[in-house]
Amino acid sequence: MDLQALLDDLARESAPFAAQGRVADYIPALAAVDPSRFGIALATMDGQVLGSGVWRAPFSVQSVSKAFALALVLARDGEALWRRVGREPSGNPFNSLVQLEYEKGIPRNPFINAGALVLVDRLLSLTGDSVGALRAFLREESGNAAVDVDAEVATSEAAHGHRNAALAHFMASCGNLENPVEAVLDHYFRQCSLAMSCGDLARAGLFLANHGLRADGSRLLTRSEAKRINAVMLTCGTYDAAGDFAYRVGLPGKSGVGGGILAVLPERGVLCVWSPALDAHGNSVAGVEALDRFTTRTGWSVF
C-alpha cells in the first residue's frame, strides 16, 4: 500500500470538512487559529514518519496530553490509580460538573477534565513537577527537544479557567486532591498548552501501539497496562462522542480542543491528525473524517 499517497488523498478529501465545525473559542489564543490548517502524520513501528499537509506545524495539544499523563501515572501507581478516578465513559461533555457530586469527587474517567486534574495531582506528588515530567517524556519519545509549553495559551487558559477551578475545588472538598488546588491547576493549564506537531505526537505515542515499549526499547508499561490505556481511549477518549468515534473509526483515540486527535493502530503505528474546527463534542470534524476514511481504506481498525 502506498501510505504517502493515501495520506495525501485523505488530506485533500477531509480538510474541507472543517467548514462544518467551529474553532474553540473559550480562550482568545485558540480562537485566533486558522481553521483551514490541516495536517496528518503516521508513525510506523520502525520509526518512520510520513505526513501530509501541515504535519510539521506545532499546535495546542490540549487534551491529547491526557493519554500521555495517564501512561506516566499508571506506570508508577498501577491499579491503585483507580481508587482516585473511574474508567467508565461519562456520556457528558468533557468539562461537565454534574456527575462529580453524585460520585463524591471521583471523576468518571481520566480523560474528562476532572479526571485529568486527578492525573496531574498524582504526577505532581510523584515527580514534584507534573508538566516538567510530561514534557521531558514527550521530548524523548518524539525526538524533538524543542517541545514546550506555549506561554500565551497557558496564560489564556489560566485567565479563563473557572470551570476547571470549580472541578478542582469540588474534588479537594471531597478529599480527592493531594496538592493545593492552585498548583494542580497551574500544571494542568500548562499541560494543556504544550505545543506539538502531528509528527511529534504520532512518534511520541508509539509505545501505545508497541505494548508499552518506549522508543529506546525500555519498558514504560506492562502489556496489560498498555492494553488498558488503549481501552480507556476507545471508550472515553473522545468524550460523549466515543461511541460514534468507535463506530466510525474503530481505533483507540484521544482528542483535544486544539483540533488534534491521536489514534493508535496496535502493532502498526500511530496516526495523528490536526484540523482546528470542532464539532459540538469538542472533536475535530475533519480529523474524525480523515481517521474514518483511513480505516475504511486500509481495513486497519481494531475490529
The x, y and z cell numbers of residue 46, run together, are 520502525
CA gap 108, 249 in Å, rounded: 23
Instruction: Examine residue 260 and tell whether it contacts ligand GLN (CB under 6 A).
Output: no
Q: Is 63 a catalytic residue?
A: yes
Q: Is 104 a catalytic residue?
A: no
Is residue 179 annotated as involved in ligand binding? no
Q: Is 92 annotated as a binding residue?
A: no
Told to check if 55 binds ligand GLN by CB under 6 A, we report no
247 catalytic per annotation: no
DSSP 239: G
CB of 211 to ligand GLN, least distance (A): 27
Q: Is 126 exposed, middle or buried (0-12, 13-18, 19+ CB in 10 A)?
A: middle
Choice between 192 and 226, CB closer to ligand GLN:
192
Determine, following the binding rule CB under 6 A, whether residue 29 of this chain makes contact with ligand GLN: no
> 205 or 282: whose CB is closer to ligand GLN?
282
Q: Which is nearer to ligand GLN, 100 or 192 (CB)?
A: 192
Can you state the angle between helices 65-77 and 181-192, rounded to 10 degrees?
Answer: 130
Q: Is 26 annotated as a binding residue?
A: no
Residue 249 labelled as part of a binding site:
no
Tell me if 63 contacts ligand GLN by CB under 6 A. yes
> Residue 196: which of 131, 278, 274 has the closest Cα?
274
Closest CA to 205 of 261, 256, 246, 150: 261
User: Residue 62 or residue 176: which is nearer to ligand GLN going by CB?
Assistant: 62
User: Minimum CB separation from ligand GLN for residue 201, in Å?
Assistant: 13
Which DSSP symbol is given to 27?
S
Specify whether 102 is catalytic. no
Supply 172's cell numbers: 479537594
Nearer to ligand GLN, 73 or 114 (CB): 114
Residue closest to 7 by CA, chosen among 277, 303, 274: 274
Which of 282, 284, 291, 294 forms a contact with ligand GLN (CB under 6 A)? 282
State the alpha helices, DSSP H only, in the chain. 3-14, 28-31, 65-77, 98-102, 113-127, 130-142, 151-159, 162-173, 181-192, 198-204, 206-209, 223-236, 242-248, 285-298
Q: Active-site residue among 64, 85, 147, 239?
A: 239
Task: State which of positions 72-131 bind ligand GLN (CB under 6 A).
Answer: 94-95, 113
The answer to whether 257 is a known catalytic residue is: yes
Q: Is 113 annotated as a binding residue?
A: yes
Q: Which three cell numbers stand for residue 201?
A: 505526537
The residue number with the shortest CB distance to ligand GLN is 63
- Interaction of residue 157 with ligand GLN, rule CB under 6 A: yes
Segments of 165-259 assigned E as strands: 194-196, 253-255
State the residue for C-alpha cell 495517564: 70
CB burial of 94-104 (b: ≥16 within 10 Å; e: otherwise) equals bbbeebbeebe
Residues that bind ligand GLN (CB under 6 A): 62-63, 94-95, 113, 157, 164, 192, 256-257, 282
Q: Which residues are annotated as a binding site for substrate?
A: 63, 113, 157, 164, 188, 239, 257
Binding site: what residues are annotated? 63, 113, 157, 164, 188, 239, 257
The catalytic residue positions are 63, 66, 188, 239, 257
